[in-house]
Every structure is written in structure tokens, then in C-alpha cells.
Amino acid sequence: MALELPVYLDYNATTPLDRRVLEAMMPYLTTDFGNAASRNHSFGWKAEAGVETAREQMASLIGAAAKDIVLTSGATESNNLAIKGVAEMYAEKGNHLITSPIEHKAVIDPCKYLEEHGYRVTWLRPDRYGVISADQVAEAITDKTILISIMAANNEIGTINPVADIGQVAHKHNVFFHCDATQAVGKIPIDVEAMGIDLLSASAHKIYGPKGVGCLYVRRHGPRVRLTCQMHGGGHERGMRSGTLNVAGIVGLGAACELCGREMAKEARRLTALRDRLHRGIVARVDYVTLNGHPTQRLPGTVNLSFAYVEGEALMMKMKDVAVSSGSACTSASLEPSFVLRGIGVSDALAHSSIRFSLGRFTTAEQIDYAIEQVVRGVNELRQLSPLYEAAEKGSPS
């Protein structure tokens, strides 16, 4: 069977919709089209039943109760609701938040917004692997601290944080702990009770569900978390998030969560093997390659590599039939190196030479082997044009 091109290795950006998820959604896109808030007829009842089943499926995946799940349009909204919602609700208690500079922009930007409005934010510096330690968090807590927001796993380098240890510190000091688990949910085990998580953000499109739907876990007791809503009008979702529910999308999120719960352990083993096959296959044939992120405490399907003396954007152009992402992001008219890579101490030159490969449910060994060939060919061709590489080969890198 011939390999289908292009090969998709950008699962951390988004995932394809699993056909089983689509099948679960289809009735709510066609015959069962009711509004879940319509309580007077069967169309509304069916929609509401679909939503509540999905809520239970989401809760089950993270060890929560269904009533703890607040439905949103995705992790960006969930992060904003958690961070701003806590900050506003507990403003009289304190004005101090703790986070890190390598969080997703959907956490960084709300924190910067709050800084502009009189709140104080401590930005904890990660180690060279991208890890934030519980000791760092403990040292940063003051009597004015109301929220800690640290991600479960980094979207660019895949590094997994010691979430349970951070949760323990948070609860010891009676501070709420928000965890952006967008990249972790469905890939590695997450248990909000065991890990001491008070608020958790997740998104459907990272786990083979539809785009535009997500959820926020909000702890109801031990301790109870209260939020100031950010979206007014109708009092949906326990008054925390008004708006007509995206029933089909929510059903899709629930189905995606159930599939992940069933298949996660086996899939993690398979993806780890493929990830390591990709890494080993490249470094066996290409020199001056650096792994970014933790060597072992890392998501099963993520490998971020820097190829010295090669521009990441140029390498991507050389391998047009392999969908990956680079360590640069287009901002205005310039290419800025990844703030995550710079945040863990990677030089601008190496950050510009980095590529993130993220694997997923439909990645095959044949695709990995094809990607290896494309990377090796592309790097070799680009380095032939590099005077810096030539100097390095002669033993006098500049």
C-alpha cells in the first residue's frame, strides 16, 4: 500500500476528527437539533441528555464529578475564565498570581492583562528542560497569593510538570491551583483529586474531537472555587458561562474523552515507540542535533529538535510533504524565535533551527520513516550551503 502524502506530524496544533466521534455527533447536527436549555419539549430534552452524558464522559477522564464540568468554546476561554474569574472573585483576599513565562499565550496574556490592572504576577523561571518545580512555587507564595497557574505539559517541547507536587503545595498554603492541561488530557493520566487541581482547562480538538469546544473543571468542594463570570446573559453553566450550548460539539468532546480513556495507555506506548524511532533515526544520520525538553518526562508523541546551522523555516520548505511546526512564529514582518525555547535557555540561533514533530492516533511507522528521510535530505542540502557548518566540520565553528 502506497504511502499517502502529505504526512501529518503536527498533532499538538490540532488533531483530525475521529470518525467514531463524528458518528456520535451526527444525530445532534441533524435530527436531534434541539437547544439544551429548552425544557418544554422532547427536542430540548434529547439535547440536554446528550450534553449531560458528555459531561460525565469528560469528568470520568480526569477523575472529577460531572457537576464540576463547565462547558466552554475551548481551552483559551477556559484559561481566561479560570484566571480572570478567580482574580476578580478573590480580589479582596489578595492580588498575587504565580505562573511561568513558557505557558501557552492563553495563560500568559490574561496574566499580563491582570498585571496592567493592578495585580502582581510572579513569573517562575523553568529549568533547561522546561520544568517548574514545586519548591519554586512554594518559595513564591505570599499571603496575597490567590492563584497558581502551571501547565501540565508544554505544547512546544512536551515537558511534563510535577503537577501533583505543585497541587500539594497549593493546598498546603490554601491557594487555588489552575492547570492548563490542554496538551496532557487524553495523552497521560490526569486525576484532579490525586493531583490537587482546583481548575483544569481542556479542549476537544487536541483529542480528536471538534474545534470550538472545550471545558473547565471547577472544584465544588474541598475547597469550593467560585468564579466571576466573563460572559453574561442567561446564567448557563452554573452562572459561570452564559451562551447557547454547542450540543453537537459537546457530544463530540464527550465521545473523544471516552475514547481516550479506553485507549490512552496502549496509545501512549505506541506513540512513545514511534517518537523514539523518529528521534533515533534522525540523530543516527545527522550531526549537531539537540533535543529540546525533558528526555524522559515528556509527552508520548512530542519531539522538538534543533538542527544547528539550518534555518527551521528553510528546512520546513525542504520537506513540504511533512506537516510540522517550527521554532519561529510569524509576528508582524519578522520571524521571532520561540518564546518557549528562549525561556529554557536555548540560543536564538538554535531556536530558529528547531522543528516540533508531534505524533498522534493515525501516525504510522511508514510515515515516521518517510519523515526521517525528508529531514536527513533537507538538513544535508541546507548545510551544504552553510559556511558556518563547513567551519564547524573543519573544527573551527564561529
Tell me how many helices (H) and strands (E) the chain has. Answer: 13, 15
The per-residue pLDDT for range 23-39, each reduced to its tens digit, is: 999 999 999 999 999 99
Q: Is 30 exposed, middle or buried (0-12, 13-18, 19+ CB in 10 A)?
A: exposed
- Opening angle at CA 199, ends 181 and 259, nearest 5: 45
Q: Report residue 332's pLDDT band, with 50, 70 and 90 as the boundaries.
A: very low
Look at residue 303 and give its three-state secondary structure: strand
The per-residue pLDDT for range 132-171, each reduced to its tens digit, is: 999 999 999 999 999 999 999 999 999 999 999 999 999 9
**pTM as predicted:** 0.95
Q: Which residue has the cell 512555587?
A: 137
Give pLDDT, residue 329: 55
Distance, CA of 279 to CA of 296 (rounded, Å): 13
Q: What is the mean pLDDT of residues 275-298?
A: 98
pLDDT of 120 over the 90 cut: yes
pLDDT of 55 over the 60 cut: yes
Give pLDDT, residue 234: 83
Instruction: Give me the residue spans of the domains in the chain.
Output: 7-13+264-393, 19-259
The per-residue pLDDT for range 209-267, each reduced to its tens digit, is: 999 999 999 999 999 999 999 999 888 988 789 898 999 999 999 999 999 999 999 99
Please tell me the class of the 19-259 domain: alpha beta
Give pLDDT, residue 137: 98
Active-site residue identified among 179, 215, 260, 330: 330
Q: What is the mean pLDDT of residues 331-356?
A: 86
Contact 170, 148 (CB under 8 A): yes
Give pLDDT, residue 396: 57
Residues sharing a CB contact under 8 Å with residue 11, sequence separation 6 or more, in sequence order? 301, 358, 359, 360, 361, 363
Q: What is the mean pLDDT of residues 92-110?
A: 98
Look at residue 286 and give its three-state secondary structure: coil
Q: For 255-259, 368-372, 384-388, which range has the lowest pLDDT when averaged over its residues?
A: 384-388
Annotated catalytic residue 215: no
Angle formed by the axes of helices 42-62 and 247-283, nearest 10°: 30
Give pLDDT, residue 238: 80
Distance, CA of 205 to CA of 230 (rounded, Å): 23
Give pLDDT, residue 239: 77
214 DSSP 8-state letter: E
pLDDT of 334 over the 70 cut: no
Residues sharing a CB contact under 8 Å with residue 265, sequence separation 6 or more, in sequence order? none
44 DSSP 8-state letter: H
205 DSSP 8-state letter: G
Give pLDDT, residue 90: 98
Give pLDDT, residue 398: 46
pLDDT of 331 over the 90 cut: no
pLDDT of 362 over the 50 cut: yes
Give pLDDT, residue 336: 82
Q: Report residue 394's pLDDT band, with 50, 70 and 90 as the boundaries.
A: confident
CATH superfamily of 7-13+264-393: Aspartate Aminotransferase, domain 1 (3.90.1150.10)
Q: What is the mean pLDDT of the chain?
A: 95
Q: What is the mean pLDDT of residues 58-70?
A: 98
Distance, CA of 338 to CA of 317 (rounded, Å): 18
Q: What is the mean pLDDT of residues 373-395?
A: 91
Distances (CA, A) of 297 to 126, 130, 164, 292: 14, 10, 14, 12
pLDDT of 326 over the 70 cut: yes
Give pLDDT, residue 261: 98
Contact 230, 81 (CB under 8 A): yes
Give pLDDT, residue 333: 47
Distance, CA of 90 to CA of 176 (rounded, Å): 10
Q: Between these two residues, 335 and 318, which has the higher pLDDT value? A: 318
Residues sharing a CB contact under 8 Å with residue 60, sequence separation 6 or more, in sequence order? 257, 258, 261
